[in-house]
Amino acid sequence: MKCKDTSKTALLKYGNLLTTNINNVLSGESSNKLDTSAIKMTTAQSTAQSNSLNSSPGVTLTLESTGAIFGILVSATILATIAIRVISKINSISTSISQIELSLKEQAANAEKIRHLEKTLDLHIQEYVNRKDVIQMVLGQLDQKINHKFKRLLFYTRDVQRFLQKDTNFNIREYEENTQEE
C-alpha cells in the first residue's frame, strides 16, 4: 500500500510541477528555463515504483485520458449517426429509383397496348370505310337496276297500250301520283 501512495504523491508532484511550468510559460517569465530536474527526479521515482508494482498490473485512467476517450466515443457516435443518415437517404433514393423503374416499365407496357389498340382501331376504321363504300356501290347498282327494270317495264306497257289501242277500243287509264280514298 505504501508504494501505491508514494506513486500517487509522485504523480501529484509531477502534475503540480507541470502546472507551475505551464503557468510560467503562459505568464512569460522564463520560457527557456523550465525546472526539468524535478521532473526527471519525479519521473525516475515513479518509474522505479512502477517497476516494483509489476505484481499487480492495471490501467490507470487520468482525467485527460478519460476526456480523450469520451471525446472519441462522442465523435464515433456522431460519425455513426451521420453514416446511418447517409445510408438511409441512399436507401430511400434507391427505393424511389426502383419505384420509378417499375412505373416506367408499366407505362411502356401501357404505351405498347395503346399502340396495339391504335393499330386495331385503324384497321377497324379502314374496314368500316371499305364496307361503307361497298354498301354504297351495291345500293347504287341496285338503284340503277331498279331504274333500268322500271324503264323497260314502262316501255313494255306502252307497247302493250299501243297494240291494244290499235286493234281494240281499249283505253288505259293514266296512273295518278296521289292516291286518296274517296
Q: From CA 35, how far away is CA 47, in angstroms rounded?
A: 19
- Give pLDDT tens digits for 42-53: 444 444 444 444
Q: From CA 42, how far away is CA 35, in angstroms rounded?
A: 12
Least trusted range by pLDDT, from 3-7, 76-80, 124-128, 146-150: 3-7
pLDDT level of residue 113 (50, 70, 90 thresholds): very high
Q: From CA 180, how far away is CA 40, in angstroms rounded?
A: 149
Could you identify the residue written with the cell 370505310? Answer: 129
pLDDT of residue 60: 80
Helix pair angle (36-52, 2-27), 10° resolution = 160
For residue 106, pLDDT beyond 70: yes
pLDDT level of residue 41 (50, 70, 90 thresholds): very low
Cell of 74: 462522442
- Give pLDDT tens digits for 62-90: 888 888 888 899 999 999 999 999 999 99
- Calculate mean pLDDT across residues 124-139: 95
Q: How far apart are the first and last CA of the chain?
A: 152
pTM of the predicted model, to two decimals? 0.39
Please say whether the dihedral angle defined by the alpha carbons of residues 105, 107, 111 and 116, taken in this order, is positive or negative: positive
Mean pLDDT computed over every residue of the chain: 77
CB 17 within 8 A of CB 4: no
Q: From CA 17, how far away is CA 42, in angstroms rounded?
A: 10
pLDDT of residue 101: 96
Q: From CA 99, how far away is CA 102, in angstroms rounded?
A: 5
- Calculate mean pLDDT across residues 30-52: 47
pLDDT level of residue 179 (50, 70, 90 thresholds): very low
